A and B are shown apart, each in its own frame.
Chain A
Amino acid sequence: MMRLLLAVLAALALGSCAQADDKTHIYLQRFFGECGAEYGGRTDVSKAEGECGIVTTLVNKFNAENPDVQVDVNVIAWPGYPQLTAQMAARDPPDLVTMHSGVMSDYAAKGLLEPVEPYLQRAGINAADFTPASRDAVAIKGRAYGLPWDTHGGLYHVNTGLFREAGLMRGGEPILPTSPEEFFAHARQFRERTGKPYLIQSLVGDPAGAARSLYTYMMAQGAPIFPEPDRLRVNTPEGRRVADFFRRLTAEGLGTSNMDTPAAIAAFMNGEGGIYPTGTWMIGQFQEESETPGRPLYRSYAVYPFPHLWGEHVASVGGHAWVVPARERTDKQRQAIARFFRFMAAHNYDWARTGHLPAFAAVVASPRFRALPQRDNIAPLGTIGRSLPGTVQRQSAVEGIVGEEMSAAITGQKSSTRALADADRRVNEFLAELQ
């Protein structure tokens, strides 16, 4: 009975999968949303706007320029890892996937991703062409596990109008602090003159933001966050210094504490605070506000890497990459993937219009990239950007825990020592279980 049932079900399940043309099919899975309505058949990349529009027209263009290859696109809900993991468990992964550099090590460690050097070689791409931050982001144990496509990370988005009011502008540029003491002095002066918080922090349901600050300033002090790949160590003098700093700032009312990400974005756009630390991905939106008359941000926006407060000037960054899940492929398919890599590398500038920093050093240095708004200010991210070591697994889960504990420290729900000790304990406990 059971077997019969299964047989019937299996018969029902058989769909038509065969593709009846003689093209080489490549199955691409990505996030960034679906916008076929606006960009369905369009191949004019320079006219496209936003992550979704640009990636859609790029793939359209690739298909148009390579008549013997068909890239079938599957748009997946962000960030797509539960689905990808499920597909891999069912041994049916796609050929190309967008992936955040921080999660690559999870799949690479299990042999679920192909090292991409053969594809890069076929595509004529040299790893030396990448920015240091990008090269770093895709490297695991000396191998490259993806074609880096951008660098994204924390930036200080500044309301220059309020900064002017607070007397913190010089020569048309905001004065950012260069030491913790100066940070406090600026923040107090800012609040006295504008009556608003210096720092807009999103601490509700947004662990990534809090973790980014801790990572950045621990890296700056030269403290190894992972002394070994499976051991986190943030409860150190350097870590507590960072946590205490933001904690005092928040306790003094110089930074907000009750906002989630949408609330913080709205607050910044409505001119309710001086600085909003968030990623590269908001540049386009804020820039548009600054160019729209009547908006609170009109002609009042600038953006910079996290300021240099301790030690070395560095920033914790991540990046998007194209990865190739391991599975059987024909040589034609491999050839097609290499061509896709070459195409995407050649169009790295187009992707940079989203706000993310390009992965190729030559594009970062190019005049047309520098001519885009704000890009001069953020270009250093390509050299000061640092990733966690590629051997560290479960970076996204680690970030969730570290961010949760760091938020508790910043808002004063736990002492800095206890929060950071809890982060170490929770993370190390599960990293110790890795096979």
Chain B
Amino acid sequence: MNFAITKEPINVQEVIDKVVDRDAGAINVFIGTVRETTRGRKTLYLIYEAYESMAVKKLEQIGREIRERWPGAKVAITHRIGRLDITDIAVVIAVSTPHRPEAYEASRYAIERIKEMVPIWKKEHWEDGTEWIGDQLEQVPYPSGKPEVKDSDE
């Protein structure tokens, strides 16, 4: 279970423990947290929801992509859903690799892929309203019916 969606607070150490490897020279840990201010607007809290079964599959796919690109890598990702308050941890990505540069690169790759194609959504609750956030850049249409990025499974 290296790839998980959870309704509970994420235990960072548990995610790290999944990628511990005697051949690893580095473990890179990315922790995504809930930010209070976005473009001057104050967030009170977020609600995350997921298409859970597909989201787990897509996280597994990211893991496979990373192991293909960076041989020897181990990956674990946990994403939390439900209500999250400011500073709460939304996602933890742990990557171990034999050497340090690959751990940084693979970690960055994982979070960018999550933001592209894993079916998880957040609803911002501001002081003056609510909105489902389309994507990180506001609106990216997908004319072809799917994200226009490499999708090694398809």
Do A and B assemble together? no
B: residues with CB less than 8 A from A are none
A: residues with CB less than 8 A from B are none
